[in-house]
Amino acid sequence: MKVLISGNEAIGEGAIQAGCTFYAGYPITPQNELTAYMAKMMSEIGGTFIQAESELAAINMVFGASAAGARAMTSSSSPGISLKQEGISYLVGCELPAVIVNMMRAGPGLGNITPAQGDYFQATKGGGHGDYYLIVFAPNSVEEAFELQKQAFDLADRYRNPVLILGDGILGQMMEAITINSQSQRTSLRSKQLTTNSQKHWALTGCKNRQPNIIRSLFLKEGVLEKHNKKLQKKFAEMQEKEVRYEKINIEDAEVILIAYGTMSRICRGAMQRARKQGIKIGLIRPISLWPFPYSVIKEMACLNKRFLVVEMSYGQMVEDVRLAVEGKSKVDFYGRGGGVIPQEKEILQKINQISKCKLKT
């Protein structure tokens, strides 16, 4: 069944289809449609929706629900996600799955509600205290947001680690057509998932016929925390090996490669098409997983002497990972705007033209 739906609502629908039975959140723009969708759906399916007293309470309610074995999620936007970092760090430390959605807005501070990509560092380098990572997916369409949201719950459970969906105000607000399951398919998917939830051997469900389960991140005895952290690092290594996702377009003959994610990648695609019409050999790599980051494909391209232009709705955050991937083997240019201003196709085209001329000279 095809429906016209906003990104925020599609993410909510993805969660429902993935068997999410618990949502706690706090109002913040531009993700309120998601909260409203979950309030409506949770009452329909007999799940739990809580409007928490704070972002801190919301993430800790998710912690409790996850500890009890439910598929649980929360969502917010930049300032709210900053507040949730304490809880996210505890989720990782306690090895609890959860899905967190950040519909980024412009900062720092209260900033404003316009779309931005200024939370890349926070999302991909841990975010809270301690050594950890989250799988971070950055969808660029409503359909992809819907699909990734479903997969996020599976991956969170598989690794017993939170997964972050990183979007922005545009993705949240725009409407596109997506195909969703019928009511009966949805019900059977959900009931299958709920059975899986009940099979979490580590969950707190009362110690009937088993030893008590303890959910903890405190390890005081010498060497025990290091052992625990090594176990976490092993999971992160496995994620780096298995969960890298990206899209590449027009790469083969490209001399210049654009790198952009989320909303920015759609605008870059337009700029790429215009540049191609002018005869410029240009391609696009779109990281879908921001962590683990697709270092290998970028490194490969750098070794083929291709040049890069990273475009972000920030003053340059992902570009640092691109430079790490390139390791000085090729040139990396950057174009970005912050404060909620979105780089336009013609600005990007102008930058492409500069680089392209430069390339001809050398």
Partner 1 sequence: MQTEDLKLKMMAQEKIKSLRNVPMHYCPGCGHIIVHRLICEVIDELDIREQVIGVAPVGCAVLAYDYWNFDVAEAAHGRPPAVATGIKKVEPDKIVFTYQGDGDLASIGTAEIIHCANRGENISVFFINNAIYGMTGGQMAPTTLIGQSTTTTPQGRDIKRNGYPLKVCELLSVLPGVVYIERVALNSADNIIKTKQAIKKSFQIQMKGKGFSLIEILSSCPTNWGLSPAEALKWVEEKMIPYFPLGVINYKGNSD
Question: Would you tell me which residues interact with partner 1 (CB under 8 A)?
Answer: 21-22, 24, 48, 50, 52-54, 56-58, 60-70, 72, 86-87, 90, 94, 204-209, 212-218, 220
- What is the DSSP secondary-structure string of 248-259? EES-TT-SEEEE
**Residue nearer to partner 1 on the CB measure, 213 or 273:** 213
Dihedral (CA of 195, 201, 202, 207) sign? positive
Burial class (CB in 10 A: 0-12, 13-18, 19+), 242: exposed
Pair type for strands 162-168 and 98-106: parallel
Residue that is written with structure tokens 């683990």 in the block: 292
- Specify the residue, 88 or 256, whose C-beta has the smaller distance to partner 1: 88
In angstroms, give the least distance from the CB of 274 to partner 1: 50
Indicate the residue among 48 and 250 with the shorter CB distance to partner 1.
48
Kindly state the smallest distance separating residue 201's Cβ from partner 1, in Å: 12
- For 96, residues 6+ apart whose C-beta sits below 8 A from its C-beta are 63, 66, 67, 160, 162, 215
Which of 175, 134, 126, 170 lies closest to 155, judged by CA? Answer: 134
In the bound complex, what is the minimum distance in angstroms from residue 215's beta carbon to partner 1?
A: 4
Shortest Å, Cβ 89 to partner 1: 8
**Residue closer to partner 1 (CB basis): 50 or 275:** 50
Tell me the closest approach of the beta carbon of residue 91 to partner 1, in angstroms: 10
| Contact present, 37 and 202 (Cβ < 8 Å) | no
Q: Judged by CB, which is closer to partner 1: 11, or 52?
A: 52
Angle formed by the axes of helices 318-326 and 295-303, to 10°?
A: 50
Which CB sits closer to partner 1, 214 or 360?
A: 214
- Please state the closest distance from residue 95 (CB atom) to partner 1, in A: 12
Identity of the amino acid at 196:
T
